[in-house]
Each structure stands twice: as C-alpha cells, then as structure tokens.
Structure 1
C-alpha cells in the first residue's frame, strides 16, 4: 500500500488505524502537537512530525516531509469546547493535500449527522454535538468542492473494545447506530486499499446495531 499520512492519530481511532496499517507493513507518518506524547506511535515504527493543524505552516511541513506519493487520512476533532480544528484544522489539511500534488487518496472521518444527514439528527444529538457536527460539515463541504473523489466516513456512536468485524458503510442518510473504534479503523484501511477508490460520503455503523426506516444496505468495498 501507499504510505499514509495521518492527522489525529494520538489516541482512539487514529492510534488504532496506525497500528493496523503498521501490522500490514504500511509506512505511516502522523502529525502531533508538541505537547502530545508519541511513545506508542514510535514503538509501532510510525514516523512523527510535530505541528498544529491550525497553523498552515505546520501542515505544509508535514506534507513536505513526505518523500513521494501518499494517502491522507484526517480524524481531526477538538470536541464541543473548541470546534476550530474540526473545521479550520481539517480545511488546512485539505488545502495542503491539494497543493502538494502528491496525494493519491484522501479520507476524512467526521461524524454521523454531517452534511445531508443533518435533517435526521435528534434534538438530543443537536444539543450535545450540534456545534461539532456543523464544524465538521463545513470541512466536508470544503473537501467535496476541492476533491470530488475523496471519501468521507461518518461514524455513529464510537465504542471502545474488541472489533466485531461487522462494520459497514451505508449511503442512506437516515441510518444511525454505533461502531467499535477498531472496526472503524479497519474500514478506513479497506477504503485505502480499494482498487478503484470510494468517492462519496458514507455513514459507518455496526451491521448488528444499525437502525433505519429503510432496509440497511452495505456499500461494497471490493
């Protein structure tokens, strides 16, 4: 596989993604802020470049550190207290990926409820995560305009623990449910490995926990 540059890999799904890629022998580089420990990633053989996604110069440096073509995965997120990285950080990454001219595929991991899924959010979800989802939707729109062939993954509620192996992608904007972080990471790996790529935006859920007013249909990954 092509080397992968990951943004947002210090913990959670991003760290699991780095682990899974390295298990397959894929070269991985991540950008981490100076204050974030890198011991786990370095132990995996991951290359670490220091920088802040909110600073365009730092993002440019991360791309300049790539020796050749690469894939890019962004899982950046700041949480309800500060949504700047959800929008502006991701937009910086998108812009520099386009400018570099060396990125083969771009995968943006956002959240369920983004984009055309917005009308189907519950009042509880809007109250808890509305600002974050709106910020991520802004980044999605920027990516879709700049890179129509990119893949956007919108995971449902994230859970820790062992993978179930039942993670699926679904194009229906009304689907909702949960997904193990390990299964989400595995699906990102499969998207990167798909021979023809996978343009578009997709909900990501566990097939055993997915709910929808329509029959749930999984998107084929080849």
Structure 2
C-alpha cells in the first residue's frame, strides 16, 4: 500500500493499522516532517512533496501495480499552492503513469462534490476554498481510469474511536467523526469491492445530522 499524508491524522493512523496486520506500507513524507514513529512501525519512507510531480512519480517506482493507494493530503504551501487539488492531481497522475490496478482511495471532506449545495455560509467562509480544491481533485480522479473510491469525513475529532462510524451517500449529511474511525472505515472500504466508483460521507452515527433519515451503506464486515 502507498499512502500520501501518512505523517499525521487519518493517514498516520491508517499506516499504523495496516502495518500492524502485516501489510507492507510505503509513505510519501515531506523531509521536514518527523517520520520516527512511521519508521518504528515498519513503514517504508520515501522523502518527497506531493506538490512535486517528480516526487509523486518516484513514490510508485518500486510498488506493484496491484497495490492500493490512499491520499489524505491537503493544506496550502508558503507560495499559496494547494495540496488539496494540485498535490492530489500529481498523485493521481503518478498512479495512472505507473499503471496502478489496485484501489485509489481519496480522502477529502464533507461538503465536496454533490454535497456543496448543502454547505452552510459559516462552512463556506471557513473551509470553502479547501473544499472547492478537494472537489477539483475528486473530479479529476473520477475520469482518471483508476479504480477509485472517495471518502468524505465530517468534522474530525482526535479522541479515541467509538466504532460507530458509518458511510452514507446522503449529500445533505453532516456531523463529526474521530480520525481513528475514519481510518477503520478506510480499511474496510479497501476490502469491499462494492465501494468502487462511489463517493461516501463518513460520520459517527451519534453525531450525524441531516434532513434525511440516516441510511448507512452496508459495508462488508472485514
């Protein structure tokens, strides 16, 4: 498995979880990031920046074509470039160039794509530019020819997971979820072929809000 964004947050938790069950994991990590915990967990580190197409390409040089790929990257560089779109697009292009046949899981945010009309004015003011950039990456992935899934977490919490995270295709859904539960949902998505070619919101069942009844997607158990 290849992960971009493994130095922190959902990507870091996912890398640890996958490595713990014996799955080889390779991570693209910026040279300025602390990668000690990743190395201690047995994760192979490839130094680089997703904003560099060459670095993104180099990440795939030693991977098998059937490996899964996960990107959780986002943020803005000092010169104003966004990893939310530009970095993810570099990563998608590198996967296409490498002929990746495994899953490409793009982790974005609630509010992207068809969820945009349901964003509040407050959310647009706070996160609108980032969410719009993530949507551009989603759109690019959809037409890439890769085997893709899009995961849109709600507001991310740092507390321990509850095991109550669910997926939904309801565009009006919003709410919160722990980073640990997002990582667990990502693991299950990668093992469930029924999630290919679909975009899901992810929230905790007990912190979900919508004008519609909650209708969780029936993920496989493992």
Which interval holds the TM-score relative to the shorter structure?
over 0.9
Select 2:199's aligned residue among 178, 198, 201.
201
| Gap change, CA 1:209 and 1:140, over 3 Å in 2 | same
Aligned to 1:5: 2
Alignment of 1:38 with 2:40, yes or no, is: no
RMSD between superposed Cα atoms in Å: 1.6
Alignment of 1:151 with 2:149, yes or no, is: yes
Mind listing any 5+ residue stretches in structure 2 that lack a counterpart?
none
**Cα displacement string for residues 105-139 of structure 1 (whole angstroms, at most 9, x for unaligned residues):** 10000011000100000000000000000000000
TM-score after normalising by structure 1:
0.94
Mind listing any 5+ residue stretches in structure 1 that lack a counterpart?
none
Secondary structure at 2:206 match in 1: coil
Secondary structure at 2:49 match in 1: coil
Secondary structure at 2:14 match in 1: helix
CA contact (8 A) 1:149 1:200 kept: no
Aligned to 2:53: 56
Distance 1:74 1:143 in 2: 11
Select 1:18's aligned residue among 15, 19, 22.
15
Distance 2:181 2:200 in 1: 15
TM-score after normalising by structure 2:
0.94
Matches within 5 A, 1:55-74: 55-74=52-71
Distance 2:68 2:149 in 1: 11
Cα distance, 1:102 vs structure 2:
2.8
